[in-house]
Structure 1
Amino acid sequence: MSNSVPVDRLRFALDPKRLVSTAVSLVEVPSPTGSAGDVSDRLQSILEADGFTVERPAAGYEKAPAVVCRFDSGAPGPVVQFNGHLDTVHLPFVPPRVDNGRLYGSGASDMKGGIAAAVEALRMLRETGLLTAGSILLTGHDLHEAPWGDGTQVDGLIDAGHVGDVVLLPEYNADILPVIGRGQAVLQATITRAGEPVHEVLGGIEQPNVINAGAMLISRLAEWDREVSVRTHPVAGRESVFVGHATGGQMFNQSPNRFFIEGTRRWLPGSDVAATRAQYLALCEEVARATGTTVEPVFQFVRDSFQLDPEDRFVAAFQWAIRTAGGTDLPTGVKPFVDDGNTFCSRAGIPAITHGPRATGAHTVNEVVPIAELERVAVVYALTALCYTSPEGPGETDQPPAE
C-alpha cells in the first residue's frame, strides 16, 4: 500500500469522545466470566445505534450469546477480524472513572478498552469509505478468563464459521509482536482417603496418609518438570510443570482425609496435548496405587501453543500500520500469556496478532489505560485492515530502511 493513504482523513474520523463513551459504557456493566450476557447486550446496543447489523450466535453458551458484527466493503477480498473477550476476572467490581486522560475500572485494561478501540476502528473505516476491498468481522464473547472460563465460546465461534482470514486481538500487549507462545493447562489433584479426619494416636497413623501422597505427587511433578525442561526454544523458553498451591490438614496431630494440589503445565509448539494429558493422568494413578489413596486429577486445558510466521503478509501489514501511525517496527518476541490468539492459530489455522493498549493492572482491582493508547490502537487496527485488504499490500516505499 502506498504512502498516499489518506491517514489524516482516517485520523479525523476518530472521535475521542465517542471512543471514551464506548469504553465507559462497556466497563460500567459488570461481567465476571460466565456472566457476560449484559455487557454483550450493551455492545450490541452500541453497534446497532451506530447502524451496524449484529448477530448473536450462542456459540455453545446460551447464557451469554456472542456478538458478531460484519462490515463489508462490497468488493471481494480478505476478512480481517477484530476479536475480544467481554468477560473479566472474578474480583470486586470497580466502576469506570475517567481522570487526567486515563480510564479506570474493571476491564479497562483487560480488555473492554481494547474492544472499544476496535469498535472505533470499525466506525472509522465505514465513515471514511476507505475500505474498498474485503470486510471487517468484529466478534465479542464470554468464557475467556481461566479458571472460571474454558475458552469454548471462541471455539464455538470458530467452528460455526464466524472467523476471518486473519485476526487482531486487543490484549494489553503493545511493545512486542508475539510470534510464539507456550500452551497451558491447569493441573489439579484432589487426594482423599476413606473415613473422617482422626487424631494421630487414635488410628490416624494407620490410615493412608494423604499428605504423604501429596508430597509424592509433588515430587513426581518435579521429576516431570526436569524431564520436559530439555524442550526449549530460544525465544519462548522451556516447557515446564509447576506447582503453586498445595493444602491439606487442620492441625499438627490430626490425620486429614483430603489434600489438594494445583499448578500448571506449559508446552511449546509441536508438543502433543493429548499425550501430555495422558501422562498426567497416569502419574496421578501411579501415586494413588502406591499410597492407597484416591487421586482425582483434573487437566484443564486452557489454550494450545501459538506460532506466527514473521514473514506472513499479515505481519507486514501490521508493521506498516505501526509505522504509519507514527511508531517504529515492533521487535518480535514471545507472547507472555495465553490468549484467544492461540486458539485462532491452532483451531482456525489463521494468523493472529495480539496487540492492544499500553495498559496496566490487568487481573487486579487497579486497571488503568491511557485514552491516548486507545486512540492509537483504533488507528493501528484501521490501518492494518486497510493494508491487508489492499491488493497492493505494503509497498516498497513503506519498508523500513536497510541498516
Structure 2
Amino acid sequence: MTGLADPTRLRDTTLALVEIPSPTGDTAEVAHAYAALLAEVGMEVEVLTEPFPKTPIVIGTLKGDRPGPRFVFSGHLDTVPIDHAPPYIDGDRIYGRGSTDMKGPCACAAEAVRVISSTGQSFSGEIVIVAIGLHEAPGGRGEDLTWLLHERGFTADMAVVCELSAHDVAVAHMGQATVEITVSRPGDATHELRTPAGTPNPIHGAARVVDAVKARNEELSATTYPWVGPETYFIGEIHGGDFYNRFPNSCRIVGTRRWAPGNTIEAVRAEYDALLAKVAEETGLEITLDLKLVRGAYSIDENAPLLKALQEAYKDVTGDDLKPVGIKTVADGAMFSAAGIPTVYHGPFGEGAHGDVEYITVGELVRATEVYLSMIGKLL
C-alpha cells in the first residue's frame, strides 16, 4: 500500500486545517471540518458534542472485509493559544500554528485511510481515527480522552498516537503534573511597621518550601531510571506581596513535577504532602497544594509486536532503523496505555511546536503516511 500518499492533498489538507483557529477549549469549527474530511475519505463518522460541546470528539471508522483487531490513530485538533503569523506555504513547508502540533499528523491519518478506502484494499478489523480538543495544558488535560476511554467505554486493540516521535521512537516518557503551592497566614496585608512582631512571613515560608523542594530534587537526581533519567521537581514562578513595605499575607509557588514509569500521581501527592506539612509545622504558616495531572508516565516493552511492526514499517519506507529512545515530554499514549490499549508514538517531524515559527514539510507528511500504510498492511 505504500507509494500512494498524495503530496498535494496532504499539503492542502494540512493548510486547510491550520487556517481554522482552534485554541484549546474552542475547537468546534475545526472538529466539524475534520469530521467532514473523514467522511469524504470513506469513514463512518461520529461527532460527540457532549459532554464537551466546545471541543467535540471526532471518531471516524473504516471497517475491513473480515473480522480482526481495532486499530486506532489518535490526534488532537487544539493548538496552544499563542499568536503566530497567518498560515502560508513556502516551497515544501507549511507554516502556521498547529501545522506540526498536530494538524499535519491528523492529515496523515486521514490520508492513510483515503488510500486504503479508494483503492479497495482488503484488511481485517477496523481502522479508527480519534481526534480530541482538550490536549494542550493548562487549558486542557485530556479530559475528553479520559471520558472517552473510561466513561464511554471506548476500547481498541492497538493505537498510534500521531506525534512525539518521528525518526526515533519513544519507548518511555515521564509523567507530569503542574504544581501550585500557596503559603499564607490569616489576616490582611499590613504596613511592615504595624505588623505584630513574630508574625510569620509567607514569603519567608515560601523560601523554606523552595529550599525543601531543591533538596528533594537533589536527592532524586541520584537515581537514574531506564530511558528517562532522574525524576524532577521544578519551580518556574514565585509570586508574593503587592507592595515593597506591606507585610504579605500569601505567596504562591508554581512549577512541575515529573516522574518515571512505575511511579504514580498518588505517590507524588503523598510525597508533597509530607514535605509541605513539615515546613508548615516549622513556620506556623498554612500551606496548600494544588497538584494537577497533565499526563501519566508511559512505557512499552521493546519487544512488543506493535512496536516491532512500527520499526519494520519505518525501515520499509526509509531504509533506516527506528531506534528506541526515552523522553521527558508527555503525551496521550500514556492514557491509552493506562486503559490497557498497547500504544506507540509516531508522526511526521516538524519544527517550532509552541514556538514563534511553526512549520512542517510535505515530505515528512508523505513519509509518515507511508509508514502508517505499511503498519496497517502488517497488522491488519
Question: How is 1:3-402 mapped onto 2 (pairs within 5 angstroms)?
Answer: 7=1, 10-12=2-4, 14-58=5-49, 60-159=51-150, 160-203=152-195, 206-346=198-338, 348-389=339-380
Q: 1:200–1:253: 8 Å Cα contact kept in structure 2?
A: yes
Q: TM-score, normalised by structure 2?
A: 0.94
Structure-1 separation of matches of 2:222 and 2:133:
36
Identity of aligned residues (%): 36
Q: TM-score, normalised by structure 1?
A: 0.89
Structure 1 unaligned blocks of 5 or more: 1-6, 390-403
Q: 2:28–2:53: 8 Å Cα contact kept in structure 1?
A: no
The answer to which of 238-247 and 209-218 deviates more is: 238-247
Structure-1 separation of matches of 2:373 and 2:215:
48
Structure-1 separation of matches of 2:196 and 2:224:
45
Structure-2 separation of matches of 1:196 and 1:43:
52
Structure-2 separation of matches of 1:355 and 1:32:
23
Q: 1:59–1:154: 8 Å Cα contact kept in structure 2?
A: no
Superposition deviation, residue 187 in structure 1: 1.1
* Letter of the 1:76 counterpart: P
Q: 2:174–2:228: 8 Å Cα contact kept in structure 1?
A: yes
* Letter of the 1:221 counterpart: V
Structure-2 separation of matches of 1:253 and 1:266:
37
Q: 1:177–1:354: 8 Å Cα contact kept in structure 2?
A: yes
Look up the SS of the partner of 2:275 in the other structure: helix
Structure-2 separation of matches of 1:11 and 1:26:
24
Superposition deviation, residue 251 in structure 1: 4.5
Structure-1 separation of matches of 2:253 and 2:114:
48
The answer to which of 201-210 and 274-283 deviates more is: 201-210
Instruction: From the superposition, tell whether residues 229 and 118 of structure 1 become closer, same or farther in structure 2 (CA, over 3 Å).
Output: same
Structure-2 separation of matches of 1:106 and 1:72:
33
Aligned residues: 379
* Letter of the 1:33 counterpart: T
The answer to which of 239-248 and 220-229 deviates more is: 220-229
Structure-1 separation of matches of 2:358 and 2:206:
37
Superposition deviation, residue 227 in structure 1: 3.5
The answer to which of 281-290 and 241-250 deviates more is: 281-290
Superposition deviation, residue 329 in structure 1: 1.5
Which string of whole-angstrom CA distances, capped at 9 and with x for unpartnered residues, describes residues 130-168 of structure 1? Answer: 242122110000111111112121112222233321111
> Which segments of structure 1 move beyond 4 Å, counting only runs of 4 or more?
none
* Letter of the 2:332 counterpart: D
Superposition deviation, residue 25 in structure 1: 1.7
Which string of whole-angstrom CA distances, capped at 9 and with x for unpartnered residues, describes residues 58-108 of structure 1? Answer: 574233220000101121111211000111112125432111110000101
Look up the SS of the partner of 1:80 in the other structure: strand
Look up the SS of the partner of 2:68 in the other structure: coil
Q: 1:47–1:54: 8 Å Cα contact kept in structure 2?
A: yes
Q: 1:172–1:355: 8 Å Cα contact kept in structure 2?
A: yes
Structure-2 separation of matches of 1:93 and 1:366:
7
Structure-1 separation of matches of 2:41 and 2:117:
10
Which string of whole-angstrom CA distances, capped at 9 and with x for unpartnered residues, describes residues 369-399 of structure 1? Answer: 111101111111111111111xxxxxxxxxx
Superposition deviation, residue 215 in structure 1: 0.6
* Letter of the 1:368 counterpart: Y
